[in-house]
Amino acid sequence: MKEFDIIAIGELNADIILNGIDGMPVIGKEIFAKDMLVTLGSSTAIFAANAAALGMKVAIVGMIGKDILGGLVRKELNAKGVDTSMLIEHPSIPTGATIVMSYDEDRANVTFQGTMDVMTLEDIDPGIFKRARHIHVSSIFMQSGIKKDLKRIYELARQNGATTSLDTQWDPVEKWDFDYKELLPLISVFLPNETELCCMTGSNGIQEAINRIRPYMNTCVIKQGSRGSLLIDKDGTINPLPAYINQNVTDSIGAGDSFNSGFIARYIKGAPLPDCQDFGNLAGALNTTSAGGTSAFNSREKLKSTAKKIFNKDISWL
C-alpha cells in the first residue's frame, strides 16, 4: 500500500483578488477597489485541495518562498487537508502571486511567477515517486524548471509503479513548446482543454488535433466548458459527454482543475473511463455553483447535497 493516492507537482501562488474597482487602472494615476481577498491560488493547489475534498490522500510538491505569502499558501493547503510536508522553501526568491482585477464576468490578471518558475527536478526528493499511486503535473508553461524535466519526472513515476496525468494549462507566451510525441506515451491521462489542445498541436479543429495526438496518447479527456467533455480512447474512439446543466453559474474559475480532481479520483479507484469522465463533468459543474475554485468543495456532505439538489445526481457513495 502506498502512503498517498496522489502527489501533485506544480506551481503555487497566492491570489490577491480586487473587486469593485473604480474603472480601469491608468499609468500615473491611482484608483480604489471596494473589496479585496488574499487567498490560495494556482491550478495545482485547486486540483490538490479538491481531490482531498473528494476523499483522496493527497500531497503537493511545489516551491514557496520564506515569506508571508508562502506561509499563507502552506496554511490554506493544510486547512484543505493536503499534506504539505514536501513543500520546498527557497531561501531568497519570493512566493509567486497573481493580482486579479475582477470586473463583473471578466478578470485582468498579472502574475509574478517567483518560486514557481525556479523549482526543478533536482529540488525534489526522488523518494516521493515511491510514495504515491498517481503523479499529477499541471501548468507546465508557468514553470520552466519543471517543464524541462518533465520527461524524467514521468519516467520516475512509471518506474515506481505510479500512473500519471498532465494538465498543461494555457501558455501565457503562446509559444506552445510541448513535445507531445515524446511525452504523451508516458502519460496515462492527458487533460487539456479544447483550445489548448488545438494550439499545442497546431491544429485548426478538434478532430485534426485528435488525429495528431492519437498515435502517441494513452487516455485523453478534452474539456469543453459548458459543452462538457470528450473522452478519447487509445484507439481514437471519441466519447462526448454533455455538461451537467447549471442555470445559475456563480463563476467557472477552477472548473478545469475540479474536473481533473473528479476524473482522477475515480481513475485511481479503477473505475471504467466513462464513469471517470462523468464524475469529472460533475466535479466541474459543482465548481460553478460557488465562487472560486475550491469553495464548492468544503465538505463531502455539502458536495453530496449540492449534487442532488442542483444536478439531481446521487453521489451518496462518496
Ligand X SMILES: Nc1ncnc2c1ncn2[C@@H]1O[C@H](COP(=O)(O)OP(=O)(O)OP(=O)(O)O)[C@@H](O)[C@H]1O
With CB under 5 to 8 Å by kind, the binding choice for 147 among ligand X, Mg ion, none is: none
Q: Is 153 exposed, middle or buried (0-12, 13-18, 19+ CB in 10 A)?
A: buried
Nearer to Mg ion, 170 or 216 (CB): 170
With CB under 5 to 8 Å by kind, the binding choice for 113 among Mg ion, ligand X, none is: none
Half-sphere exposure (CA, 13 Å, Cβ side) for 175? 8
Nearer to Mg ion, 195 or 246 (CB): 195
3-state secondary structure of 316: coil
CA distance 184 to 165: 10
SS3 per-residue string spanning 158-187 = HHCCCEEEEECCCCCCCCCCCCHHHHHHHC
Phi, psi of 6 (to 5 degrees): -135, 135
Nearer to Mg ion, 84 or 219 (CB): 219
Q: How many CB atoms lie within 10 A of CB 98?
A: 17
Residues in the chain: 318
Phi, psi of 39 (to 5 degrees): -145, 175
Q: Does residue 256 touch Mg ion according to CB under 5 A?
A: yes
Strand 4-9, strand 33-41: pairing: unpaired
Residue 168 beta carbon to Mg ion: minimum distance, rounded to whole angstroms: 8
Q: Is 105 exposed, middle or buried (0-12, 13-18, 19+ CB in 10 A)?
A: exposed
With CB under 5 to 8 Å by kind, the binding choice for 315 among ligand X, Mg ion, none is: none
DSSP character for 193?
B
Q: Which segment (82-90, 105-113, 249-257, 294-302) binds Mg ion by CB under 5 A? A: 249-257
Nearer to ligand X, 163 or 258 (CB): 258
Residue 154 beta carbon to ligand X: minimum distance, rounded to whole angstroms: 20
Element (H, E) at 294: none
Cell of 250: 456563480
Number of residues that bind Mg ion (CB under 5 A): 1
Nearer to Mg ion, 128 or 276 (CB): 276
Cell of 211: 488525429
Residue 169 beta carbon to ligand X: minimum distance, rounded to whole angstroms: 6
Q: Which segment (58-66, 85-93, 251-259, 292-300) binds Mg ion by CB under 5 A? A: 251-259
Residue 210 beta carbon to ligand X: minimum distance, rounded to whole angstroms: 16
Contacting residues toward ligand X, per CB under 6 A: 169, 193, 223-226, 228-229, 243-244, 246, 249, 252, 254-257, 259, 281, 284-285, 288
CA distance 305 to 119: 39
With CB under 5 to 8 Å by kind, the binding choice for 25 among ligand X, Mg ion, none is: none
With CB under 5 to 8 Å by kind, the binding choice for 249 among ligand X, Mg ion, none is: ligand X
Say if CB 23 and CB 31 are below 8 A apart: yes
Q: Does residue 192 touch Mg ion according to CB under 5 A?
A: no
Nearer to ligand X, 152 or 227 (CB): 227
Residue 260 beta carbon to Mg ion: minimum distance, rounded to whole angstroms: 8
Residue 294 beta carbon to Mg ion: minimum distance, rounded to whole angstroms: 15
Nearest to 42 by CA among 69, 77, 66, 11: 11
Q: Which segment (7-15, 145-153, 174-182, 252-260) binds Mg ion by CB under 5 A? A: 252-260
Q: Which segment (75-83, 90-98, 256-264, 269-277) binds Mg ion by CB under 5 A? A: 256-264
Kindly list the residues in this chain that would bind Mg ion in the complex (CB under 5 A): 256
